[in-house]
Amino acid sequence: MCIGVPGQVVAVGDDFHQLAQVDVCGVRRDVNIALVCEDSPRELLGQWVLVHVGFAMSVIDEHEALATLEALRNMEIEVFAPQR
């Protein structure tokens, strides 16, 4: 199973060939934005993207990003909680 994790683009280079900095759950990661960059990389600043294995796979809206992060947090609690 593969999952993508939402992250917010916080820094970009001058063109889409450069890696962007994406904040994923408070950790900055280098992410390739070539698949989602249509014009200037600057237009992605502040946008939410779905990240999978170092690539931004799609641009998503903030509501979807926050809902996905919450679902992932809830799964972690259920998966790692001790069984009674």
Q: Please name the amino acid found at residue 13.
A: G
Q: To 5 degrees, how large is the angle CA 73–CA 78–CA 83?
A: 155
Q: What is the pLDDT of residue 81?
A: 54
Better pLDDT: 42 or 81: 42
- pLDDT band at residue 80, thresholds of 50, 70 and 90? very low
| Gap between the Cα atoms of 74 and 68, Å rounded | 10
- pLDDT band at residue 73, thresholds of 50, 70 and 90? confident
Q: What pTM was estimated for this model as a whole?
A: 0.83
The H-assigned helical ranges of the chain are 62-80
Tens-place pLDDT, residues 28-41: 999 999 999 988 99
Both tokens assigned to 45: 């600043």
Whether 62 shows a pLDDT value over 90: the answer reads: yes
